Structure 1
Amino acid sequence: MLECSQDNLRAFNQLFDRYFEPLYKFSLNYVKNMEAAEELTMDMMHNIWRKRNTIEIQGEVKHYLFGAMKNVLFNYIKKKQMATVTIDELPEMTQLSSETVSQEIAFKELEKLYHQKLEQLSPQRQKIFRLSREEQMTYPQIAENMNLSINTIKTQMLMSLKFLRENMREHVDMTLVLFLYLFF
């Protein structure tokens, strides 16, 4: 980890290669969704790289990484529990609500914002993101389709998700509903 804090990308890649799979499996035990587990693990690893200059590890790197992953999972599960509307309830919710029209307008505005932000991604990232989320292709399928490595696909997805999350953060309540509607 010391080498990572000195901006050694090769050392980080080795750290990533060594711990990604065990962290992913650890996540999968809790979230029971392969894509969510992979995204959470990718996000955590990205945050490790982003904060590499400020992280101080006492003890083994493995313990630090699993502790960080546990915190990510805790936050994810906590947020998920707070979202009480399921995708199955969306049609009923819009039919029964007295605010149906305003909700529909807000949803359409958010969907428009989502597509605008998606258009701000580079053409390659857009294509990778759309293949993954809209065509439900796996990372290996996308890698083969685009003649890129799986790590490139993972990195591009990580950056796309980070960009969308940061740029749609202020609309978090409606964004959750939109993502549930579009991707599940």
Structure 2
Amino acid sequence: MRPLQTNDDVELLAFVKESDAAAFEVLYNRYWDKVLDLAYHKTGDLMEAENIVQDVFVSLWKRRETLEIKGNFSNYLFVSVKYRVLKVLARQSSVRMVSIDLAHDLLDDSTQGHLEFDEIRGRLEELVSQLPETCRLIYQLRNEDKTYKEIATQLNLSEKAVDAHLLRARRKLRIELGDFMSLFLL
């Protein structure tokens, strides 16, 4: 039997669905630092970032038997953390969510939370599909954890050009999602 660390995410998730704590630990160790870095970058507070990431993983474990992840697990995880960061930032600035009680965990089993998460993810995918081809491709490759250098090599661009396209894509998405998110905020 090969060590679990050599399994890909899809295989590990299948094991997790069967309550395999060791497989969950491999996923946890594989992504903890990456999603913590994202949460810390967005919040600027290491303790809050750790709480966010821990909450996401606890929620995943609690929902392991019914969890259906369509697509890339790392993308799902990053979107989950980003969504949780939005909730924390909204709470910190005393902004109330229109259809969700602030005490409600957005990643629990509630139907409303999942519907809103899916709606935001769907809107993000729609906005990404509307980006100019090069921006869209660079954004997607970066979300697959490709480095600037790898993307530049693959697309025959300079790293500076990759950075400029990515900055342009993120700025457009931030503006468009900001307008969309304002529908959820009071």
Which has the higher Rg, Structure 1 or Structure 2?
1
For Structure 1 versus Structure 2, the TM-score category normalised by the shorter chain is 0.3 to 0.5
TM-score normalised according to structure 2 size? 0.45
TM-score normalised according to structure 1 size? 0.46
> Relative contact order (alpha carbons < 8 A, sep ≥ 6): 1 or 2 greater?
1
